[in-house]
Amino acid sequence: MIEVQHVTKRYGPVTAVDDVSFRVESGQILGFLGPNGAGKTTTMRILTGCTSATDGQALVAGYDVFEDPVEAKRRTGYLPETPPLYPDMTVREYLTFAARINGIKSAARRERVAAAMARTSVEDMADRHCGKLSKGYRQRVGLAQAILHNPDVLILDEPTAGLDPKQIIETRELIKELAGDHTIILSTHILPEVAQTCEQVVIINKGRVVAVDTPGNLTGRLRGSETIRMAIDPLGTDPAPAIEGLAGVASVTAAASDSDSVVLEVQCDEGADVRRELAATVVSSGWGLLELTPLRMSLEDIFLELTTSENPREDDPEPSGGAEPAEAAPEEQVEAADA
């Protein structure tokens, strides 16, 4: 169980994390979403004790990370953004070292190391130096280090970054598998990943939580209407008016066109499914139907909507001179928080 209450982190005048609160139940996976510099990594570093918070409280597996850091850390596995590998150690040596500092008794060490290597499938690299591993292996050795001591809580900062598609799928499977007996927070900006692996999503922007929900609810909440994209070969005519005339179609915009095809984006009325009518119209007009794709409001869109339509924060300095673009101030802030 992870509980974050009103955690705030300021670096001088810059607020990297602003009054963030959320809760992850035991055995759940929480996805932590946000643009770069939103405060994801800072929040995770606070939870793992790598950095302190200016204000607020955080409980990991029942222990306060500020009051009782050693007990909290004993129950936490952390994979930072860059896997913390010692280049001059072999994978086995590295994991053995990690096991030792995590207080795993020497009798169990070999077995635990082997188990962690097996779970993350890095056994074939066991005797290779960490410095010589490819990005994908580095990431997985980092993950092996995080799960080594079988912690209650796993905090994974972009666990699939730099992996190839097959490894991404494997890693996601592994994370899902781990969920049962571990509570997991993972950060990412790959949105399908959240949809596929997480039970709960926290979207954070400029240090603030802008949404906490399940991926399903989030997509549902913002899916007002559906858009269908279609590519048509209209044989020289303009297909737009005919389609616009159909019942259930709100508007039609031409997205692209070339000599023998026209791409239209058809905005439907809420709840209306006009795919059959669209197809029938095209066919009955004698045109060629090349493509018909429903464009659902994806997590990407939701994400963009939530993280860009936010009002600038009240405590932002007023842009001086008025000529400055409105986005300038928040952007600066994001960059400063990144540093």
Tell me the CB-side half-sphere exposure of residue 202, using CA atoms within 13 A. Answer: 22
Member of 4, 98, 141, 337 binding another protein (CB under 8 A): 98
How distant, in Å, are the alpha carbons of 34, 162, 313, 319 from that of 339?
A: 17, 22, 20, 22
- Under the binding rule (CB under 8 A), the answer on residue 187 touching another protein is no
- 62 Rama class: left (phi>0) / alpha (psi -120 to 50) / beta: left
**Site size toward another protein, by CB under 8 A:** 29
Our measurement of the distance from residue 33's CA atom to the centroid of its chain's CA atoms, rounded to an integer in Å, reads 4
DSSP state of 311: P
Using the minimum distance from each CB to another protein, give the nearer residue, 148 or 211: 148
Question: Residue 155 corresponds to which amino acid?
Answer: I
- Under the binding rule (CB under 8 A), the answer on residue 330 touching another protein is no
Nearest residue to 218 (alpha-carbon basis) of 234, 231, 199: 199
Q: How far is the CB of 185 from another protein (least distance, A)?
A: 13
- Under the binding rule (CB under 8 A), the answer on residue 76 touching another protein is yes
User: Which tokens hold the place of 287?
Assistant: 């045109």
Q: How far is the CB of 149 from another protein (least distance, A)?
A: 9
Member of 25, 55, 67, 88 binding another protein (CB under 8 A): 88
Sequence-distant (≥ 6) Cβ neighbours of residue 205 within 8 angstroms:
34, 35, 38, 306, 307, 310
Contacts 24+ apart (CB under 8 A), 62-71: 62/1
Member of 25, 36, 52, 296 binding another protein (CB under 8 A): 52
Q: How far is the CB of 323 from another protein (least distance, A)?
A: 34
- Under the binding rule (CB under 8 A), the answer on residue 8 touching another protein is no
For residues 333 and 147, give the distance between their C-alpha atoms in angstroms, rounded to a whole number.
34
Using the minimum distance from each CB to another protein, give the nearer residue, 7 or 264: 7
Member of 97, 223, 265, 290 binding another protein (CB under 8 A): 97
Query: Segment near another protein (CB under 8 A), from 44-52, 261-269, 281-289, 295-303?
Result: 44-52
How distant, in Å, are the alpha carbons of 255, 293, 327 from that of 56?
A: 48, 47, 29
Member of 6, 25, 67, 86 binding another protein (CB under 8 A): 86
- Under the binding rule (CB under 8 A), the answer on residue 188 touching another protein is no
User: Which tokens hold the place of 160?
Assistant: 């699939």
Counting beta carbons within 10 angstroms of the beta carbon of residue 337, is it exposed (0 to 12), middle (13 to 18) or buried (19 or more)? Answer: buried
Query: Segment near another protein (CB under 8 A), from 30-38, 94-102, 209-217, 289-297?
Result: 94-102
Query: Segment near another protein (CB under 8 A), from 67-75, 190-198, 206-214, 292-300?
Result: 67-75
- Under the binding rule (CB under 8 A), the answer on residue 307 touching another protein is no
- Under the binding rule (CB under 8 A), the answer on residue 128 touching another protein is no
Sequence-distant (≥ 6) Cβ neighbours of residue 161 within 8 angstroms:
81, 139, 188
- Under the binding rule (CB under 8 A), the answer on residue 62 touching another protein is no
Pattern 249-288, another protein, x by CB under 8 A: ----------------------------------------
- Under the binding rule (CB under 8 A), the answer on residue 51 touching another protein is yes
Q: How far is the CB of 304 from another protein (least distance, A)?
A: 30
Using the minimum distance from each CB to another protein, give the nearer residue, 49 or 56: 49
Member of 27, 56, 80, 312 binding another protein (CB under 8 A): 80
Counting beta carbons within 10 angstroms of the beta carbon of residue 114, is it exposed (0 to 12), middle (13 to 18) or buried (19 or more)? Answer: middle
Q: At 120, is the secondary structure helix, strand, or coil?
A: coil
Contact footprint for another protein (CB under 8 A): 11, 45, 48-52, 70-71, 73-74, 76, 78, 80-82, 84-89, 97-98, 100-103, 145
